[in-house]
Structure 1
């Protein structure tokens, strides 16, 4: 397996799919979180990003600074793109990474994603995590559970908690390292969130309207930070609808420019 190949999981190979969708995980999460989305998105090739420090990449040191990780993702994803349009979707830390990667591709003059889906995070309206990082493991686990960024299943299984906690700590260091520069993306953005998410200030997701020329609105669902676990089908259905519309509009624009 190549170095770049380790960054991506493809639950179902779909070379005939007309679009690719890259998923970015939440803090402490892995590519496996999105494997079931392949069944929810027919006609799309799902590519789930696997960050260092978890599952088969557990022996690799996790990133703790946002800039170097985005640079590594930028290098890795270039080998995965083909002529098909593609989109990004990220939850929590994944939304941060998808957003910054889209900005980096755009600044580098590349062909960015046709659509960006962001869930449970906004560039300026997320609550700071800096105070959590110096805590010893026991206090850290309790604090992140109260903060809402630890999946419920990890909190009840000591063995799973021991596996997840180092990645959660490293990923929250990434969030703490993030410095907003006000950058925008050139593609449409669709935002999703839980109505009682404690990690965001009220109305925080509406901030995305300032970061895109085409804001597709906010869809909120019952639940907290991990609302997405229960509402994956509804979010996938809505995001798929947006992808189809963006794809159709892109084809119309291409035909218009070609005089067809």
Structure 2
């Protein structure tokens, strides 16, 4: 094993290895999301940013791994995976449920005296202490599927296929249980800039709800609104990548010219 390049944790996926990157971007998907769901815009990031995405167990290449349905267990695993990667600056980006995970990861990193992220990107969800908890995980499969349809992030053909639908709803329900039973940590505000990204038509997070992130930090909070709904990250991939690049002090035009041939 090369001590300069230790193997990644099973919790992390890296679509492109960039050993010379200035900053790492640790991404945390939404409830029911996977590492591949964030790749379309990650591939558009400039070469100065190396993206890594948390792969929650129970889906894609971790389908057979036992699922985790408590915030504490997820955060503990993510911080353990992150610790060896703090030899260079890093930022956190979470979408929807992932934004709450990102907040808790930043709080836990501070508790463990691990270097703090240079910025937290919170997408598509109010600040943890202001978010509605819900009870969708307690409902039947029809209600769970209806909520996925409402948010628009799941292809209709997935929910139309009985076998595929059963497999997907298995880990979606697990993630909904995690976020709907989550009690945010009562901690003093973070000392890092927060950048809130929302979709203009997102039913989950309005501009007013985005402003609640001001309670989480002593530093500046920037809110940026994109066209689209809850899954604007995919719909506005180029704008999202450019926004993240600029916020991290990188040239958004410095992007690899070719699209990868593998997913």
TM category, shorter: 0.7 to 0.9
**Could you tell me whether the CA contact under 8 Å between 1:126 and 1:199 is conserved in 2?**
no
Pairs aligned (count): 242
Of the three residues 167, 178, 182, the one matched with 1:178 is: 182
Q: State the TM-score, normalized to the length of structure 2.
A: 0.84
User: Does structure 1 residue 73 correspond to structure 2 residue 73?
Assistant: no
Note closer, same or farther for the CA distance 1:3–1:243 as it changes in structure 2 (3 Å cut). Answer: closer
In 2: Cα distance, 1:190 partner to 1:230 partner = 19
User: Does structure 1 residue 110 correspond to structure 2 residue 119?
Assistant: no
Of the three residues 41, 58, 61, the one matched with 2:66 is: 61
Note closer, same or farther for the CA distance 1:179–1:157 as it changes in structure 2 (3 Å cut). Answer: same
Deviation at 1:242, TM superposition (A): 1.0
In 2: Cα distance, 1:222 partner to 1:38 partner = 19
In 1: Cα distance, 2:173 partner to 2:148 partner = 9
Note closer, same or farther for the CA distance 1:33–1:6 as it changes in structure 2 (3 Å cut). Answer: same
**Could you tell me whether the CA contact under 8 Å between 2:133 and 2:181 is conserved in 1?**
no
Q: Which has the higher contact order (CA 8 A, sep 6+)?
A: 2
2:223 maps to 218
In 2: Cα distance, 1:56 partner to 1:85 partner = 28
User: Does structure 1 residue 236 correspond to structure 2 residue 202?
Assistant: no
In 2: Cα distance, 1:169 partner to 1:22 partner = 24
1:7 maps to 11
Aligned-residue RMSD, C-alpha: 2.3
**5+ unaligned residues in a row in structure 2: which ranges?**
1-5, 251-263
Of the three residues 49, 55, 62, the one matched with 1:50 is: 55
User: Does structure 1 residue 89 correspond to structure 2 residue 93?
Assistant: yes
Greater fraction helix: 1
1:257 maps to none
In 1: Cα distance, 2:220 partner to 2:115 partner = 19
**5+ unaligned residues in a row in structure 1: which ranges?**
246-260
**Could you tell me whether the CA contact under 8 Å between 1:125 and 1:201 is conserved in 2?**
no
